[in-house]
Amino acid sequence: MFRGFLNDRSIIIAKYSIGRLPNEDGVRLCIAKKLASAVTYLHTALPSPVIHRDLKPGCIFFNHDHVPKLSNFSLSITIPPTYSDVEDGVRGTIGYLDPAYMRSGCISEKTNVCSFGVLLLVLLAGRRAWLDIMHIEDYTVIDYVESLAYQLQAIVDPNILEEVGGNEPVEHQLHDFLELALSCTQERIGGRPFMGDVARELVQIDKSILPSYLQSTIFVIKHIGYGLNNITSVRKLISPSSV
């Protein structure tokens, strides 16, 4: 049974009502993990990887148990075997589009990775991907994070910080989660991880004891895949002292 879909502020829009997600502090991160599992499947399970090309909250639907489902494949495209990318006209949603794809028209698995990274930032910060800040054009959640000098306390949704309650080890876990999101949205395509790479980093995050709202979320993501070797540049950008 259809329950509703997610908007850019983590609110379920249903046929007859509008309401927050149940157990809000953890469900948003759990949504990100389940989505990562679905995208990884699209990239690896078929001979020709499927690129969704429009990853965003509006493509996440919920069943009667509030289990998220990835939907709306109207803009998806496949990459032929032995090819790393294909060319096509730019399509997608402003704020979630990969800047490299917008410039070149070339689509690869990293196109989805960038959109996924934006979604992670949206879920972590509780902000829309496309922001209206002092009427500045092209101001995205990535710009918002940069404007806050990558300071975790200023970026993370207050609802999550309230749950953390100043727990330093958990704040470091959130810091690592932010690093991962930023690694996915790097301007340089070669610096972005593959979706399987994202999972290995999340396994490392899972090694620490987390509060229940994060523990259940990381448990789902860690089964996606393996490997993350390209976040060194992001780690240099965000020092532990910023936590």
Kindly list the catalytic residues: 54
Half-sphere exposure of 186 (CA within 13 A, CB side): 19
Q: What angle do CA 40, 46, 52 make, to 5 degrees?
A: 50
Of 35, 26, 114, nearest to 71 by C-alpha is 35
Q: What is the rounded CA–CA span in Å between residue 144 and residue 147?
A: 5
The phi, psi pair for 86, rounded to 5°, reads -140, 160
Cross-strand bridge partners of residue 13: 5, 18
Amino acid at 228: L
How many Å is the Cα radius of gyration of the chain? 17
Contact yes or no for 128/9 (Cβ under 8 A) = yes
Q: Tokens standing for 169?
A: 């080890």
Mapped onto helix, strand or coil, the DSSP state of residue 152 is helix
Start-to-end CA span in the chain (Å): 42
Alpha helices in 76-230 (DSSP H): 99-104, 109-125, 141-147, 152-155, 158-164, 168-184, 195-205, 212-221
